[in-house]
Structure formats: C-alpha cells, structure tokens
Amino acid sequence: MTQAMTLNQRIVLVSRPQGAPVPENFRLERVALPDLADGQVLLKTLFLSLDPYMRGRMSDAPSYAAPVEIGEVMTGGAVSRIEQSRNPKFEVGDLVVGATGWQSHSISDGGNLIPVPKGLPSPSMALGVLGMPGMTAYMGLMDIGQPKAGETLVVAAASGAVGSVVGQVAKLKGLHVVGIAGGADKCRYVVEELGFDACIDHKSADFADELAQACSKGVDIYYENVGGKVFDAVLPLLNPKARIPLCGLIAGYNAHEAPTGPDRLPALQRTLLTKRVRIQGFIVFDDYGDRHPEFISAMAPWVRDGKVKFREDVVDGLEQAPEAFIGLLEGRNFGKLVVRI
C-alpha cells in the first residue's frame, strides 16, 4: 500500500453542544492521506488522550485557545509511532507525543512532537503521569502552591490524572493531604493505594461537614480543578495566606446559563481580601512549557521507584472516543482516560 492510499479515520466536530455534549456533536470520517513532502512524517496514533479542556474547545466562546471549527478534527494529544519519515530528525518506529487530534493517522513537520521517554511500562504514560496532566499537577503545586511540610492540602478529582499526582507529590513534600472524589471506590483507592491521609466523597449528604472534620487545621493549599459545590465547601476552611492553583473548573464546563442561588462573589472577594488568599490560574504549556525538562527530571524517578503511582482507564477504538469523553465530563472514568487506537 502506498502512502497516498493510507486511510485516516478521524472524528470531527459537526455541531457545538448546548450544555453537555451528545454523540450527535461528533462524526466519524474516513479520508485518504496525501504523499509526504520533504520534512514531514506520517504518524500512526497508538493512544489518544481525553481531557476535560476539550469541552472548552467545542465552544466558540473567547478563551485562551482557538475553538475547534465545525468540520475540523477534534483537538487532543496522542502518542504516535512514526510510520514514514522524510524528516532527518525522526526515524521509522520512533514514539512521539503531539497534539495530533482524534484520528488514526496524521502528518506533521515534526515541530510539535516530543519523544516518548524510554523504558515506560506503557507509552500511554506519556499522556498521563509523565504527560500534560502530570506536568499540570507538578507545576501548579510547586510553583503556585509552594508547599511546606506540615501544611494541609486539599485536591478535588483526587483519583483523576491531575489530582492523583498533586496529592502524591504533596505527601512526598510532607503535607497533610485530603482528597475529594466521587464514590466509595474512588475514595478507598485514593487513601489505600495513593496514600492520601483522607478522601471525602462529594456525593455524601454531609460532604461539607466531613471535609471540615478532615481539615481540622484549615486548608493551606487548595488545588482547584473542579469548582462548583466543592469550592463552596473549601472556601470557609481556607487559612490566612492560603494558595489556590487553578487549572480547571470541570463542574461548570457543561453549564449554558448562570448558576442559581445566592450571589457568591461577595463572600469570595471578602475571603480573598481578609485572609490574603492567593489564587492563580495557569495553562501549563503556555506558562511552563520551557520547564518540561525540570518536570521530567523530578517525576520520572518518582514513577520509576513507585513513589508516585498511576491508574489508567483505557477505552478501545477511536469510534468509542465521543462516548468516553461524555463520560469523562460526568465523572465515569477511574484514572487517566485514554483511547487505544
């Protein structure tokens, strides 16, 4: 088969969701790829990463990155294998990470490709604990959170790709770590497998009271990746000069109207002022892309030595990506969600 006959399966955005995404927002297509030009490589996707930020790219509202246009391939990072190369920097068989999207094959000039670290149990780890989520966890905690031994850290989505790493690194730094997760199984995993000091089920009717009991000395760092009622419960527990790294707000990603209830902004502003709380949003590769080697040099030994554990939720088949992504936004996944192509 010549390269001109290589068929690419891809999932494109066909409509913008109103609220939660539905399968009808996506379409699976098959198209032929052209011959390679000089300097290009042909990539075969092995693992596709599904992440909450993709919901924002489905909207055309102003944001930190351009939206996916109607008819375009859904954006996303992936681990791929070089199938053909006309670029001297890459050889056939090399494994790389790049933002190649929801598709089985892609063509790249190599400018956006990062080699997958050698010796990983699975190359998909370059999309999780040693990829964008792990780097988000590490840089947000270390640079904005500035952890100090003996402090208390709270992190939501504690069994997920970012939250699980945040908590484990915080434990390595000597903090008291309280996770928040949805359901008894996830909470049990966070405590028994990942080593958090406690994990509170946000589905509990007494969630706010249980969180307060687990944070008897208040909260010094709240790693924010959820928002909603979780933030409401954490806010009154914040200590003076608490730090809040903000990397996501998944609880509100599907919202298409303002939340009901009282105006919470005055209480937030009052807390930020009187307790001198620092809250800082960040986009990991925009703000810390040049520090990727620092992240890998710190995280890789922890992973290799078993000091930072990871869990993957693997879905088979590109055609399953839309339903898996919908489930991600509903909290159905358990661990880092990847699609094996």
Confidence of residue 266 (pLDDT cuts 50, 70, 90): confident
Residue 290 pLDDT? 94
Rg (CA), the chain: 21
Is the Cβ–Cβ distance between 234 and 241 less than 8 Å? no
Q: Pull the structure tokens for residue 255.
A: 């919202």
Mean pLDDT along residues 133-157 = 97
Q: Pull the structure tokens for residue 25.
A: 């927002």
Residue 228 pLDDT? 85
Mean pLDDT along residues 317-324 = 98
Residue 62 pLDDT? 80
In DSSP notation, 259-325 reads PPSS--HHHHHHHHHHTT-EEEE--HHHHHGGGHHHHHHHHHHHHHTTSS---EEEEE-GGGHHHHH
Is 4 a residue whose pLDDT tops 60? no
Q: What is the pLDDT of residues 53-71, one digit of tens each?
A: 999 899 988 887 889 999 9
**Structure-token match 């902004």, residue found:** 265
Is 26 a residue whose pLDDT tops 70? yes
**Structure-token match 């699980």, residue found:** 164
Mean pLDDT along residues 70-97 = 97
Q: Which amino acid is at 313?
A: D
Confidence of residue 188 (pLDDT cuts 50, 70, 90): very high
Mean pLDDT along residues 230-251 = 91
Residue 252 pLDDT? 56
Q: Give the whole-number percent of the chain exceeding pLDDT 90.
A: 83
Is 337 a residue whose pLDDT tops 80? yes
Residue 117 pLDDT? 85
* Residue 168 Cα distances to 157, 159, 160, 303, angstroms: 13, 11, 12, 11
Mean pLDDT along residues 135-147 = 97
Work out the mean pLDDT of the chain and round it to a whole number: 93
Q: What is the pLDDT of residues 268-317, one digit of tens each?
A: 899 999 999 999 999 998 999 999 999 999 999 999 999 999 999 999 99
Residue 253 pLDDT? 59
Is 254 a residue whose pLDDT tops 80? no
Is 255 a residue whose pLDDT tops 80? no
Q: Pull the structure tokens for residue 285.
A: 């590769």
Q: Any idea of the CA torsion for 225, 229, 231, 233, to the nearest 10 degrees?
A: -140
- Whose CA is closest to 277, among 227, 249, 237? 237
Is 159 a residue whose pLDDT tops 80? yes
Can you give the pTM of this predicted structure?
A: 0.86
